[in-house]
Amino acid sequence: MISNIEVAMVTWPTPVLIGVLLLVLLIGALIGNFTSGVESKKKLEEAHARIETVIQQARSDAERAAARVAQAEKMIASAPGNSQPGKTFLRLWLDSAERPALDLDGQRVDTTRISEPHRKRLVSLLSVMRPWIEGKPSASAPILAPPTPVPPPAPKSIFSLFPAPSLLPAKKVELPAALPSMVAQIDEILQARLAIGPLAERGIKLQESPEGAVIVMVDAQKFEGVGEVTDPEVQSVIRAAIAEWEQKYTPGR
């Protein structure tokens, strides 16, 4: 029998020892990689938690800031100093779709088809502003007051159906002519320029569309706006007419 001392003295072959050593190193590397992966995952989860906390804090700060801004705007709008003095007769503004809207005497007016009373009211207000545009002194105009509703006529007697003949001829009442539009005024200047220039036979004319845009007619050809005119000479004479209109009706601009 071999004693314990003899077993201990037995030497292992070199390849076996190298294999055992490599196996130990491989196991150590696997353990190290596993431990490193666990720590990396833990750190990544902690980083995600910190980022989520920062995002939630930023959202809360943004909501509080928006609430403060809304409160400040509400206070500014309700401040007594921001209310416009006097009474507004005419207001031209843009709605949410950037389309022009009109208010007359504090009431919304349908600009797609203005009724005759609203049209007369608008003309009366423009006649007040016209001296300011032309740079002339303006007199006090009682037409600024909104028109009062006409009461219904009282019932007539049967004798009122046969009025007495008048010895004097009835006086003809002349209504004030409506003011020409801006496009019409520019076209008038344009036609005067064309009459003394080389483009008199071209048939150039400015028209106004139902939406209020400028339409240029050149030799029966229609252009949507001055910038769309292809002939530079025609476009130049139109822009010269516009410049003359601005000097005439908007002095000092």
Q: What is the pLDDT of residues 222-242, one digit of tens each?
A: 888 888 888 888 889 888 888
pLDDT band at 156 (very low <50, low <70, confident <90, very high): low
Q: pLDDT higher for 50 or 139?
A: 50
- Cα–Cα distances in Å, from 238 out to 191, 206, 249? 10, 9, 16
The mean per-residue pLDDT over the stretch 104-124 comes to 81
User: Is the predicted pLDDT of residue 50 greater than 80, yes or no?
Assistant: yes
Of 212, 199, 210, 211, nearest to 241 by C-alpha is 199
The mean per-residue pLDDT over the stretch 42-63 comes to 86
pLDDT value at residue 158:
44
Would you say 242 and 193 are in contact if contact means Cβ atoms under 8 Å apart? no
Q: pLDDT tens across 66-78, in order?
A: 888 888 877 776 6
pLDDT value at residue 86:
64
pLDDT band at 31 (very low <50, low <70, confident <90, very high): confident
pLDDT band at 79 (very low <50, low <70, confident <90, very high): low
User: Is the predicted pLDDT of residue 8 greater than 50, yes or no?
Assistant: no
pTM for this structure? 0.33
Measure the CA–CA gap between 10 and 2, rounded to whole angstroms.
Answer: 11
Strand intervals (E) in 107-198: 107-109
